[in-house]
Structure 1
Amino acid sequence: MMVSATSFAGELDCAAPPTASRDIRALGYYTDAARSRIDPQLKAQNEVAVKPLNTFTTKLGDMTDALIGKHDVEAGNCALSWLDDWARNDAMLGTMEHVNNDQSDYMRQWTHGAAALAYLKTKSLATPTERHEIETWLKKLSSANMTYWDDPKHKRNNHYYWTGVGIMATAIATHDHTLLKTAQSIYRKGIDDIQPDGSLPMEMARKRRALHYHDYATAPLVLMAELARIDGSDWYSYRNGAIERLAERVASGYRDPSWFSEQAGAKQEKAEPKGSSGWVEFYRLRSPHPANFDEMHSYGPFEDPRMGGNLTLMAKDGMVPAH
């Protein structure tokens, strides 16, 4: 569907969205049992395969950030036109092709999260028709993604938490109490997984990337708790604020990764906070010990399309536009 050309953020045009496909054919690119070593060729092939999905999420983040940060209504309307186009074409509701792993399912979960967050940020501008089309689509994606997790063979690690982002944002945007309960159960599973030392056993199994995956697992949990705040609920306090143990473990790991190297049995690959580490922008505002997160914060600003765009901006100006 072609949309009218408008400008947003001063430099981008509202062109047609990437072609909406019902099916996804993504590829896994890890080569070892711990899923810690990447095959560059497989990764490059996957990037080509999922480019339309990544373009969709990246541009949605750009447009909705322009709405939040610059009150650019045209950008918000452009984002809605993209969401409406994919909704009308039942994007991602077809076959999730398993080439060599479940990467296609993961891509649908991440893209659902980005789309639902974009809609949450732009809903106030949507027409009744757009609301109906987009909300129906987001709910269908929620159902499809949860069907994946009905299979007990699927380990409920960070991917499960990331599924919760799309379901939580959809629940808040559509006022769906059943979906909200589903999101809450996902969140609680993630928090229940946190050990007394702040670790997550399934992410520790990632060996040389254990620190990275602890960081990556923290992101959707903080984002869900932040979305709950918008809805007037305090999820941060669940299990006596156990999320603090995880967040602090990650922050201390970036200061000195030796603990992760010892516990994971592998020297950690060199890493620094970036992208999805932007959960820290929200969490440092909620933590009982905010100074523990100053160093991570200094690596910002943070942007991650799968988390809605510019996290530094959203933490400062809000995840939904001011009225």
Structure 2
Amino acid sequence: MDHFILYGSPISYFTGKVRAYLDWKRVAYREVLSSAEVYRDVILPKVGFPVIPVLETGRGEVLQDSTDIIETLEQHIGGPSITPAGGVQRLAATLLELYGDEWLVIPAMHYRWHHNRDWALRAFGELNAPGATPDEQWAIGSKRAGPFAQAAVLLGASTPEMQAAIERSYEALLAELDAHFQAVPYALGSRPSMADFGLYGPLYAHQYRDPASGALMRRAAPNVVRWVQRLESQTTPLGGDFLPHDEVPASLDPVFRRQMREQLPVLADSVARLRDWLAAHPAEPVPRAIGKHGFLLEGFEGERIIRPYSLWMLQRARDVYRSLEGADRERADAWLDRVGGQGFRLLPDGPRLRRSGLSVAEDR
């Protein structure tokens, strides 16, 4: 694979994840901004639906979905692997990717659309019409950004109480990550893993780059800022090691406890809701959302859409866990118990899913 083209945007959550991986692995690529013309002339004809990032190879192959892009490249290019050999570290990395991709989207969307809205509208206008005047870009951005702006509400930031809860949770997470990155350069050692790239998507594209969010991060979490900059820089050394003895650093325990406390109940309920939906809609394609459910955050109850795609990401983590045997399983269980992950350990697996475009389908 060579002569890659990355179709994406600086303001895109998942483009940031893929770009950081490509840069760290020293992959030669050219980035093309996803303007309205690029969507019309390239992305829709090649992919079939409007989405970024999209990676095109010199042989005309098209890859879409950040996880699929990175996993495919890992199989075809050399250099240090981002997948730890140890089973417990591999599970931890997959769980943190799940957390970054599917849970940190809540504060990412909330801060962008409730604290950085004017900046974001201009950025969307500049992206879609780079040659337009500032007033034209504002109007275009206001129109194009509508579905993205609504995402904050759909994901749970729908009331002042829930917005305040999201901010308390996120700012506490920043403090937890800041303490970790003061001690360890990346999530699991001196080499980035999929955990880092999963966390980088929201923490770079929305929270570091957006002005109000970036000011908060620089003030409250300077070690997180330095971690972002290590991954952002193309001069970051290609190498490093994961911690020895399959160790997951204790400095990450508060982050995993937060994930198990906040995200896991939502995933468990989503499994049950999807099972019920499939029973009521046999042979129908699974939509991107299957209704809404309640969730708890910082003592407040909100409502959010149920996203089956999150369960495909959960399935990947469950696959890693179920693959562990003997001493590896014992160590994984002990680690999960340490971080409040008994619910994950005992979670009944839901219907088997495969990714299908922007959504998922039951793997019959």
| TM-score, normalised relative to structure 2 | 0.29
Structure ranking higher in strand proportion: 2
TM-score by length of 1: 0.32
